[in-house]
Every structure is written in structure tokens, then in C-alpha cells.
């Protein structure tokens, strides 16, 4: 398979055998076109023979949107096809402060969380930095004069399980003035060594911890990684990240009826998050056919009240895209199921 040109930055493109003997400005022209979401055919100020050679050796854009679902609330869900035919998803959300894109970092996921649709078949492969960048560029192309202002690394995959590519993607967005680090949120189920590496490498993204239970034994029932990463170690790493970056940490907490919304859950969750700037984001669990029951609006408000009474900084996350299967992995699953049905019936 051909190399994705977007995996190179401007200097990397300049060093390519095909480019290095050309005028220095050529690499800048090519890179500018790529960051605009334009493929080789549309690079009008690049000589035609050079475009043809680039096309022979490289892939220009690493992902293309092949299916879109639009919600009544303005949320758009994208099914991307990668150059090797693999499928990933992204979600473009509309808020008062601008557009936020949920980006996938892996094809599938090895973490095995019980409530997540994207990891049910395990990990297929990591995404490259250029493929992640392609997700953003495709969304920007659809927006026209508007641009994505915030990126959340909460699509398929565990971002810190693909550390090198994800951090390269974050740096590229920032260095190219696409999305600054302080406008990036990275969600992790708690890979403590990589959280500390993120701090040591000088990142200033918002760290979001997927906890979903404040007790290790109960957390293991829905998150297999809890066997390797204990809550005390995760919170210690989170404090270290805060001390290095100065950035408040977000705790993500998917509410499941009868499992993690008891009085003792509220008390222990407050204890875990009490000693440093930390905000709890309560999440109404999307239906992913997991068999895990979510909570009603009333139950969510009751659990919110318990935490507020304990002095926690806490909100219930606004749920977007429910009418278009907003949970990660659902659009891909429906698409592939339909393809299999068509094959079986000769469609």
C-alpha cells in the first residue's frame, strides 16, 4: 500500500527523494494544499507531471467520508473509509462556542469496555497521525468557511494505546494553527505510564479519565483494564499531570442503573476527586446493545444532587446525536451489517 503523504510534516515532505532537489517552496505548497483537504488533482499551482508522480507513490488524503447521518440537534456522524478499506467513525457536534469533532485514534480497540460498541471485535490496528488529521480535514471541508474549533479524542480506540501517533497528531494540529492543544480533550481509561509521559512531554490538552466506578472491584466488571490500572494509581498519575500542565482534569462517569449511582458511589467518587482541581462529567449511557441499563433523567439528576451535596464540581453531559446512534461504533456496525445482508441477498 502507498504511503500517506500527510504522515509527513512540511520538512518531511521537503526531504522526500521526489521533492528534495526541487525549489524549497514546493514542499510548502504541497503541504498547504494537503492541510486544506485538497488532493493531488486539485493542487493547481503544482506542475502536472509532479502531481502524477506524487499520485503514483503516495496517498494524498487518508480518510474519506462515505456515509453521513444528521441529527435533529445538528450533530453529524461520519463513517470514514481509510485507504486500506478499514472503517472508523467521527462525530461533529454543534455548540454555542463552535464546532467540536470527535476523532477516532484506532480501528477498533483492545480495552474491552463492556458498554463500548467500538471495541467488541478487538483492535484491528492503530491510526497514523496523518489518518487522524484526515478526519479533521474532511470535517473542515464539509464546513466550508467555518472550521472545527475543538477536538475530542473520544472516538474508537484508546488514544494513549497509540501514544506516538496521537501525540504527533496533537502537535501537528497545534503547529499548523488548526486546533490548539488547549482546545483538545483526550479520553483514557487510565494508562498511568502514558498519562505521566503526556505530562513529561509537555502537553497541555485536557485529560479526561474514564472511571465509571470509584471501586476497583466493580470497575473490573465493566473495564478489563482495571485489573492492571488501579484507581489509586490512576488518580496519582492524574494529579501529576495537573501539577505539570496546570490543567484541570475531567472525570467521565457513565451512569448505569443499580451499578454505580448508589450513595456509596457518590461518596467514594467525591473522595477520589477531592484533593486537586477535578470536574466530574456524568454521562447518560447510550444504548449500545450491551445489556447495561442506563438511567432516566430523574435518576441522573438525583445522582448529580448527591455529588453536589458533597461539594463536587459536577455536571451532566448534554447528550447529542441520540437519534442517529451517537454512541461510538454504532454507525459502522449498522453499515457493515447492511453490507452483509446485501451480499447474502445478492444486493
Enzyme catalytic residues: 89, 328
For β-strands 106-108 and 63-70, DSSP reports them as unpaired
Residue 58 pairs with which residues in a beta bridge?
Answer: 3
Question: Residue 109 and residue 94: Cα distance in Å, rounded?
Answer: 26
Biggest CA–CA distance in the chain, Å, is 69
Q: Are 92 and 78 in contact (CB under 8 A)?
A: yes
Q: Which three cell numbers stand for residue 83?
A: 485507504
Cα–chain center distance at 87: 14
Give the residue ranges of DSSP H helices in the chain.
10-14, 25-35, 48-57, 129-143, 163-175, 192-200, 216-222, 231-245, 263-272, 297-309, 330-344
Question: Residue 111 and residue 88: Cα distance in Å, rounded?
Answer: 17
Question: Residue 195 and residue 210: Cα distance in Å, rounded?
Answer: 13
SS3 242: helix
What torsion, rounded to 10 degrees, do the Cα atoms 234, 239, 244, 249 define? 90
Question: Residue 211 and residue 271: Cα distance in Å, rounded?
Answer: 13
Give the side-chain half-sphere CA count within 13 A for 263: 0
Amino acid at each position: 500500500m502507498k504511503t500517506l503523504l500527510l504522515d509527513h510534516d512540511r520538512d518531511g515532505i521537503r526531504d522526500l527523494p521526489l521533492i528534495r532537489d526541487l525549489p524549497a517552496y514546493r514542499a510548502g505548497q504541497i503541504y498547504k494544499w494537503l492541510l486544506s483537504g485538497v488532493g493531488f488533482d486539485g493542487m493547481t499551482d503544482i506542475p502536472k507531471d509532479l502531481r502524477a508522480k506524487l499520485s503514483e507513490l503516495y496517498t494524498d488524503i487518508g480518510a474519506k467520508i462515505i456515509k453521513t447521518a444528521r441529527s435533529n440537534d445538528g450533530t453529524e456522524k461520519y463513517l470514514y473509509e481509510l485507504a486500506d478499506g478499514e472503517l472508523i467513525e467521527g462525530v461533529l457536534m454543534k455548540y454555542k462556542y463552535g464546532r467540536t469533532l470527535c476523532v477516532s485514534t484506532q480501528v477498533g480497540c483492545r480495552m474491552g469496555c463492556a458498554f463500548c460498541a467500538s471495541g467488541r471485535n478487538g483492535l484491528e490496528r492503530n491510526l497514523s497521525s496523518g489518518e487522524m488529521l484526515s478526519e479533521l480535514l474532511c470535517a473542515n471541508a464539509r464546513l466550508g468557511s467555518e472550521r472545527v474549533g475543538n477536538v475530542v479524542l473520544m472516538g474508537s480506540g484508546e488514544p494513549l494505546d497509540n501514544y506516538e501517533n496521537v501525540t504527533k497528531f496533537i502537535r501537528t494540529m497545534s503547529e499548523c494553527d488548526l486546533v490548539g492543544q488547549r482546545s483538545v480533550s483526550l479520553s483514557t481509561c487510565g494508562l498511568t505510564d502514558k498519562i505521566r509521559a503526556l505530562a513529561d512531554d509537555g502537553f497541555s490538552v485536557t485529560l479526561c479519565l474514564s472511571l465509571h466506578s470509584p471501586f476497583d472491584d466493580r470497575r473490573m466488571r465493566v473495564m478489563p483494564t482495571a485489573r492492571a490500572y488501579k484507581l489509586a494509581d490512576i488518580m496519582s498519575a492524574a494529579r501529576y499531570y495537573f501539577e505539570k500542565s496546570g490543567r484541570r482534569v475531567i472525570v467521565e462517569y457513565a451512569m448505569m442503573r443499580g451499578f454505580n449511582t448508589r450513595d456509596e458511589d457518590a461518596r467514594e467518587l467525591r473522595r477520589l476527586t477531592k484533593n486537586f482541581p477535578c470536574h466530574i462529567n456524568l454521562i447518560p449511557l447510550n444504548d449500545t446493545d450491551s445489556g447495561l441499563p442506563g438511567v432516566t433523567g430523574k435518576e441522573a439528576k438525583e445522582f448529580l444532587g448527591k455529588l453536589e451535596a458533597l461539594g463536587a464540581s459536577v455536571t451532566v453531559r448534554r447528550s447529542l446525536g441520540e437519534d442517529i446512534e451517537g454512541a461510538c461504533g454504532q454507525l459502522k456496525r449498522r453499515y457493515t451489517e447492511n453490507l452483509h445482508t446485501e451480499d447474502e441477498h445478492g444486493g
